[in-house]
């Protein structure tokens, strides 16, 4: 009970959250009806029952299907608004939110549709309760380098609203170096950089994210334990890892939460953070991820406080703003 109270009371930052992965089944079904989109689900329970994944790809197939109901500006507003309300509830005082432009542009829905929807919700939450947010534009790595360049080009009018670029989707067979030139261009435009690496992919992909993409954080990175030299480099650089416990269990990266390696990453001196990834698909928002760790691992209250402090240290907030929360 004391641990539950601590988790609830601690101010936290969320650093690894796909806004399209916060689409709850209720909103998905409502938007399908609104736009006359046919989904292979008759009821909300059918949607929830479908969320049993064997690996990353089996999840991504349903994630892209779900996102197909997002059509107009109001849909993107509602998606973002619902997530920001969860932030308020979970004491997520700062959120660095990823969005996947290509998930929408590939369907003919452009930046001029989703960006105003996102920004209207962000402005409202900032005004109503002082919510702090920033945006990370993530490239789909199963698509081409050319498509990523086109996405960066299409984002030009919106760059003042975007802090960083990221890299997500199917990891195996799509190593970070495939996007080295895109990330170099993004860097030249003043954008910060993160990349998913070492979720399903090998430790070499984490090296590639560091060396070829010049990232400030690694999303997931749990496979770093396979490479002692990499562990040493990550610790020495204090390179943040945005670990997503419930995601890793749902996607069978670990067979059970008690097998999760987050405490050994922490004990090795890495700058580890806890994050929700795709909360509506993986069974919970940020506090649920902390609760799942507390339920299955011998985590101490001090370690929980360290993880929350790390989330600010690893954030893209300015140093003076970080200091308010650490």
**Applying CB under 5 A, what is the total number of residues that bind Zn ion?**
1
Question: Is 20 a catalytic site residue?
Answer: no
Residue 277 in marked binding region: yes
Residue nearest to ligand ES4 (CB): 168
Where in 261-300 is the site for Zn ion (CB under 5 A)? 277
Taking residues 226 to 265 in sequence order and writing x for each that binds Zn ion by CB under 5 A, - otherwise, the string is ----------------------------------------
Distance between start and end Cα atoms, the chain: 24
* 23 neighbors 242 (Cβ within 8 angstroms): no
Shortest separation between residue 167's beta carbon and Zn ion, angstroms: 10
Compare residues 75 and 277 and give the one whose CB is closer to Zn ion: 277
Residue 46 in marked binding region: no
Using CB under 6 A, list all residues that contact ligand ES4. 18, 21, 56, 63, 168-169, 196, 199, 247, 277-278
Compare residues 212 and 277 and give the one whose CB is closer to Zn ion: 277
Shortest separation between residue 147's beta carbon and ligand ES4, angstroms: 16
Catalytic residue among 5, 199, 204, 259: 199
Give backbone dihedrals phi and psi of 308, rounded to 5 degrees, phi first.
-70, -45
* Known binding-site residue numbers: 16, 18, 196, 277-278
**Which residues form the interface with Zn ion (CB under 5 A)?**
277
* Known binding-site residue numbers for Zn(2+): 16, 18, 196, 277
Question: Catalytic residues, which ones?
Answer: 199
């Amino acid at each position: 009970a004391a641990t539950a109270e601590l988790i609830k009371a601690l101010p936290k930052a969320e650093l690894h959250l796909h806004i399209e992965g916060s689409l709850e089944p209720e909103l998905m079904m409502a938007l399908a009806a609104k736009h006359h989109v046919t989904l292979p689900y008759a009821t909300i329970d059918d949607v929830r029952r479908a969320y049993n994944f064997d690996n990353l790809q089996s999840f991504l197939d349903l994630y892209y299907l779900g996102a197909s109901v997002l059509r107009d500006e109001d849909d993107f507003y509602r998606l973002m608004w619902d997530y920001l309300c969860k932030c308020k509830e979970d004491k997520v005082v700062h959120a660095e939110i990823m969005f996947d432009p290509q998930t929408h542009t590939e369907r003919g829905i452009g930046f001029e549709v989703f960006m105003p929807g996102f920004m209207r919700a962000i402005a409202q939450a900032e005004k109503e309760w002082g919510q702090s947010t920033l945006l990370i534009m993530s490239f789909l790595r199963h698509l081409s380098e050319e498509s990523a360049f086109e996405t960066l080009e299409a984002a030009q009018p919106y760059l003042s609203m975007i802090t960083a670029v990221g890299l997500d989707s199917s990891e195996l067979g799509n190593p970070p170096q495939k996007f080295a030139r895109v990330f170099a261009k993004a860097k030249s435009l003043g954008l910060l950089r993160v990349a998913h690496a070492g979720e399903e992919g090998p430790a070499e992909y984490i090296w590639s994210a560091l060396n070829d993409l010049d990232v400030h954080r690694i999303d997931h990175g749990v496979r770093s334990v396979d490479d002692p030299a990499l562990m040493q480099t990550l610790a020495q650089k204090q390179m943040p890892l945005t670990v997503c416990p419930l995601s890793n269990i749902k996607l069978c990266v670990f067979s059970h939460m008690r097998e999760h390696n987050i405490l050994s990453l922490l004990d090795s001196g890495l700058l580890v953070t806890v994050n929700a990834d795709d909360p509506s698909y993986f069974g919970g928002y940020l506090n649920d991820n902390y609760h799942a760790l507390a339920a299955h691992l011998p985590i101490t209250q001090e370690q929980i406080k360290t993880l929350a402090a790390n989330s600010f240290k690893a954030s893209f907030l300015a140093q003076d703003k970080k200091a308010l929360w650490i």
